[in-house]
């Protein structure tokens, strides 16, 4: 069984990064937090996770300096009520599981399914919680055109490959 760990921005619901691991509670997910910090270009002010120990360990490793200097909060005992909960992340996990069930699980760490789902979630799928806007739109990233998938593919094909 493969487990997917993912990072999402709470305000925009933008799916930032993911990591596939072989274990659920003991995988080192420090690289996930480091990749998220690199993609976002900054450390978060608050990290909301469930109570799994590997989240706490990865948080300390990835944000130790920033936590001391910036007082980053790690909320790991989330509840369903109140301002701090992980319902948005659980909703996204449900989306992923719905698709994953059909293909009978993620078999490879670099599965193209995950990148495709990430693109769909961020740039194509309207979110009810964002008043029908996409996560990218909420983050200020616009995809112009009637068919967003086609626009994304056309724009990607115009990019020169990196050496």
Whole-number pLDDT of residue 80: 58
Contact 78, 48 (CB under 8 A): yes
Q: Output 154 or 70, whichever has higher pLDDT.
A: 154
128 has pLDDT over 70: yes
- Assigned domain for 117 exists: yes
160 has pLDDT over 70: no
What's the pLDDT band for 52 if we cut at 50, 70, 90?
Answer: confident
- Assigned domain for 126 exists: yes
- Assigned domain for 61 exists: yes
Q: What is the pLDDT of residues 9-41, one digit of tens each?
A: 988 999 999 888 888 888 999 999 999 999 999
163 has pLDDT over 70: no
Whole-number pLDDT of residue 17: 92
Contact 78, 86 (CB under 8 A): yes
Residues with Cβ within 8 Å of 157's Cβ and at least 6 positions away in sequence, in order, are none
> What's phi and psi for 75, nearest 5 deg?
-95, 110
Tally the domains of the chain: 1
Contact 18, 5 (CB under 8 A): yes
- Structural domain boundaries, residue 51: 3-158
82 has pLDDT over 60: no
- Assigned domain for 163 exists: no
- Assigned domain for 121 exists: yes
CATH of the domain at 115: 3.30.420
């Amino acid at each position: 069984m493969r487990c997917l760990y993912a990072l999402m921005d709470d305000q925009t619901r933008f799916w930032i990064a993911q990591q596939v691991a072989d274990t659920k509670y003991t995988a080192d997910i420090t690289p996930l937090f480091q990749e998220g910090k690199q993609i976002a270009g900054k450390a978060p002010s608050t990290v909301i996770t469930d109570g799994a120990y590997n989240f706490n360990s990865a948080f300390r490793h990835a944000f130790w300096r920033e936590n001391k200097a910036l007082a980053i909060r790690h909320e790991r005992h989330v509840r369903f009520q109140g301002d701090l909960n992980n319902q948005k992340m659980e909703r996204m996990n449900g989306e992923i599981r719905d698709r994953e069930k059909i293909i009978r699980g993620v078999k490879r760490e670099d599965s193209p399914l995950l990148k495709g789902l990430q693109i769909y979630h961020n740039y194509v799928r309207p979110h009810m919680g964002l008043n029908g806007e996409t996560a990218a739109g909420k983050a200020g990233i616009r995809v112009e055109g009637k068919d967003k998938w086609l626009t994304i593919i056309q724009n990607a094909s115009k990019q020169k490959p990196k050496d």
